């Protein structure tokens, strides 16, 4: 998972597509019980040698804007917050949607009413028991503060408490991706006590309100330096030992986890070598061959991770002109950008598809032909047709992330070679976030997108996303997707049309898929890499 495009404004999702059907809920429950029984013995044997107690120290690259998981889709928020908070539904090891705080659910025949039963005796960090009123208040807050929550709630008629352990979500119209959208792990549908949800409203929750149901609870936050979470002794775990991801059996084996803000990647690496840190994220991929022979490090490649992109502001000249956006596409040499950014061919993929190769139900390269055509002469012809006369253009990016910074520098030079009069300005993370909210501050910006689980979850298709793309055809594709989500032939047609639209209307310039790299200490026990770090079910040797 890495940075979630690093935006605070709109939804981003990290999961594969789940076809929601009413019949699957009871089948899932029975299958999970059988899987739990067969895996329990193996899990117990694996856990016997894992140490308990101690502290895991993590070096990560940016101080989060908040730890309120609902209000921010920044990865700096997400990777800490999902230790503290939990969702009704979330992702397992295979990136499919499973219940977490939900016990079961039913969908009405007309697809408009979701009845969700809750797990019993789940305890919040303040000692109170989670009940339906907490879930209702949390859902309502998520629907008013999270970009993806607001999209969902534009279709919600009512969320109501049926009894202490049951809630209903009543929709105006059927919405097939509801559960997978609720399982989104950025700007997430976290469950918090009702009184906190109601008191906070649309404002980010304060430190003393960081109360969830997760295996760790918030301890302290020294802004700009480190965050400490500690084991929650009264955590009530699920029993599924084979689900993994953000659900299934969880146990905090270490006493504390400390997340230190370490902006320099080399300092993160050296800190693990010397024992100062136990884990480090966002390691430059061009160091892979140097690091793989180092016995003091364990390397964890992550794929799928995200894809790099360059986003034009389509709300005003000059990039309100589609021909000039198309010129950008032909001016860019993706292979050169990928190699210059990541330094090793194993850590990037020149791939024009919206979705990732690992997403078998969503991946197609049909319709992506323009992505592969680097043609400066064609770019110049389109620039002339668009009436571009060398007006100065500004790219903004962040120097807080090496791949963003490095790719931006190469893109700058390639665009200059094609005839664009362009400069680049880079900012530290917080300032970059502020600048990207205002179209007056840029013509293009560098960012990245994580894995999305379906068409309706694509961050950049929203007209409110920076870059401000308004497309009637995109709206039609979204509607057709929601109406035909169970028809494979229709889905395949729409996925091809989405690829074609990306290169016809060019709302953004996809650069390359990234394979991420993280490193850890050999002292970590039973650590299993996933989209990013998780420290339940993990020990640390003394």
Q: How far apart are CA 194 and CA 135, in angstroms?
A: 7
Could you tell me the residue ranges of all domains in the chain?
Answer: 304-515
157-166, 448-457, 487-496: which has the minimum mean pLDDT? 448-457
Q: Which residues pair with 302 in a beta bridge?
A: 516
Integer angstrom CA distances of residue 372 from 311, 332, 334, 377:
18, 9, 8, 15
Task: Label the pairing between strands 524-525 and 509-520.
Answer: unpaired
Task: Label the pairing between strands 393-398 and 422-427.
Answer: parallel
Tokens 């010129």 found at: 327
DSSP secondary structure letter of residue 541: -
DSSP secondary structure letter of residue 373: -
Instruction: Give the torsion through C-alpha atoms of 413, 417, 420, 426, to 10 deg.
Output: 0
Say what the pLDDT of residue 458 is: 86
Could you give the 3-state DSSP secondary structure of residue 406? helix
In sequence order, the 6+-apart residues with CB closer than 8 A to the CB of 300 are: 517, 518, 519, 520, 529
Nearest to 526, CA basis, from 45, 46, 94: 46
The more confident residue out of 85 and 175 is 85
208-236: pLDDT as tens digits: 999 999 999 999 999 999 999 999 999 99
Question: Taking 80 as the threshold, does the pLDDT of residue 5 lie above it?
Answer: no
400-434: pLDDT as tens digits: 888 899 999 999 999 999 999 999 999 998 899 89
Say what the pLDDT of residue 44 is: 42
Instruction: Give the DSSP H or E segment for 157.
Output: strand 156-163
Fold of the CATH domain 304-515: Dipeptide-binding Protein; domain 3 (3.10.105)
CA angle 10, 402, 64 (to 5 degrees): 45
- Over residues 3-24, the mean pLDDT reads 29
Question: Taking 80 as the threshold, does the pLDDT of residue 17 lie above it?
Answer: no
The more confident residue out of 14 and 532 is 532
List alpha helices for 49-193, DSSP H. 75-84, 132-145, 147-153, 178-182
Say what the pLDDT of residue 199 is: 96
Nearest to 485, CA basis, from 181, 104, 80, 138: 181
- Six-digit token string for 384: 């002339």
The dihedrals phi and psi of 512, each to the nearest 5 degrees, come to -150, 160
DSSP secondary structure letter of residue 24: H
Say what the pLDDT of residue 305 is: 80
Question: Taking 70 as the threshold, does the pLDDT of residue 18 lie above it?
Answer: no
375-386: pLDDT as tens digits: 999 999 999 999
Q: How far apart are CA 26 and CA 37, in angstroms?
A: 17
| Mean pLDDT over each residue of the chain, to the nearest integer | 88
Tokens 């962040």 found at: 398
Say what the pLDDT of residue 485 is: 57
- Over residues 169-185, the mean pLDDT reads 89
How is 200-262 classified by DSSP, letter by letter? HTTSPPPGGG---SSSEEEEEEETTTEEEEEE-TT------SS--TTSS-----SSEEEEEE-
Q: Does a cis peptide bond (omega within 30 degrees of 0) precede residue 304?
A: yes
| Contact assessment for residue 50 and residue 154, using Cβ atoms and an 8 Å cutoff | no
- Over residues 224-250, the mean pLDDT reads 96
- Six-digit token string for 312: 């034009």
Say what the pLDDT of residue 502 is: 98
Say what the pLDDT of residue 25 is: 31
Half-sphere exposure of 221 (CA within 13 A, CB side): 18
Say what the pLDDT of residue 377 is: 97
23-32, 161-170, 479-488, 499-508: which has the minimum mean pLDDT? 23-32
Tokens 């950014």 found at: 341
- Six-digit token string for 434: 């502020």
Beta strands in 32-111 (DSSP E): 55-60, 89-91, 97-99, 102-107
Half-sphere exposure of 210 (CA within 13 A, CB side): 24
Q: How far apart are CA 529 and CA 516, in angstroms?
A: 11
């Amino acid at each position: 998972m890495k940075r979630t495009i690093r935006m605070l404004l709109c939804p981003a999702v990290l999961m594969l597509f789940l076809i929601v059907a009413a019949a699957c809920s009871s089948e899932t429950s029975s299958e999970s019980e059988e899987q739990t029984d067969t895996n329990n013995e193996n899990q117990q044997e694996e856990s016997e040698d894992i140490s308990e107690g101690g502290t895991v120290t993590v070096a990560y690259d940016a101080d989060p804007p908040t730890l309120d998981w609902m209000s921010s889709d920044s990865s700096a928020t997400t990777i800490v917050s999902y230790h503290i908070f939990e969702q009704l539904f979330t992702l397992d090891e295979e990136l499919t949607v499973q219940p977490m705080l939900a016990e079961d659910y039913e969908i009405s025949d007309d697809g408009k009413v979701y009845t969700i039963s809750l797990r019993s005796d789940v305890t919040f960090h303040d000692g109170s028991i989670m009940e339906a009123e907490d879930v209702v208040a949390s859902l309502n807050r998520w629907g008013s503060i999270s970009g993806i929550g607001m999209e969902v709630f534009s279709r919600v008629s009512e969320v109501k408490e049926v009894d202490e352990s049951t809630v209903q979500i009543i929709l105006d119209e059927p919405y097939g991706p509801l559960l997978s959208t609720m399982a989104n792990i950025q700007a997430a549908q976290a469950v918090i006590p009702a009184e906190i949800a109601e008191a906070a409203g649309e404002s980010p929750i304060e430190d003393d309100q960081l109360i969830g149901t997760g295996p760790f609870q918030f301890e302290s936050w020294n802004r700009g330096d480190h965050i400490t979470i500690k084991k929650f002794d009264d955590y009530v775990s699920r029993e599924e030992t084979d689900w993994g991801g953000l659900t299934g059996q969880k146990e905090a084996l270490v006493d504390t986890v400390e997340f230190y803000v370490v902006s320099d990647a080399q300092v993160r690496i050296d800190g693990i070598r010397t024992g100062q840190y136990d884990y480090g994220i966002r390691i430059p991929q061009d160091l892979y061959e140097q690091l793989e022979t180092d016995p003091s490090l364990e390397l964890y490649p992550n794929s799928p991770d995200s894809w790099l992109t360059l986003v034009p502001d389509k709300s005003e000249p000059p990039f309100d002109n589609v021909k000039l956006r198309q010129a950008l596409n032909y001016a860019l040499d993706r292979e050169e950008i990928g190699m210059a950014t990541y330094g090793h061919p194993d850590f990037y993929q020149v791939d024009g598809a919206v979705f990732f190769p690992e997403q078998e139900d969503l991946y197609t390269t049909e319709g992506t032909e323009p992505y592969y055509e680097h043609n400066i002469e064609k770019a110049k012809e389109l620039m002339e047709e668009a009436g571009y006369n060398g007006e100065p253009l500004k790219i903004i990016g962040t120097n807080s992330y090496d791949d963003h910074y490095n790719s931006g520098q190469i893109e700058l030079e390639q665009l200059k070679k094609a005839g664009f009069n362009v400069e680049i300005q880079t900012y530290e993370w917080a300032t970059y976030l502020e600048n990207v909210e205002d179209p007056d501050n840029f013509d293009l910006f560098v960012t990245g997108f994580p894995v999305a689980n379906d068409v309706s979850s694509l961050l950049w298709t929203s007209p409110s996303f920076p870059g401000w793309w308004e497309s009637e055809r995109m709206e039609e594709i979204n509607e057709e997707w929601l109406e035909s989500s169970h028809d494979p032939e229709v889905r395949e047609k729409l996925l091809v049309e989405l690829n074609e639209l990306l290169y016809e209307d060019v709302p953004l310039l996809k650069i390359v898929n990234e394979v991420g790299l993280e490193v850890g200490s050999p002292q970590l026990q039973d650590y299993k890499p996933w989209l990013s770090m998780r420290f339940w079910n993990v020990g640390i040797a003394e």
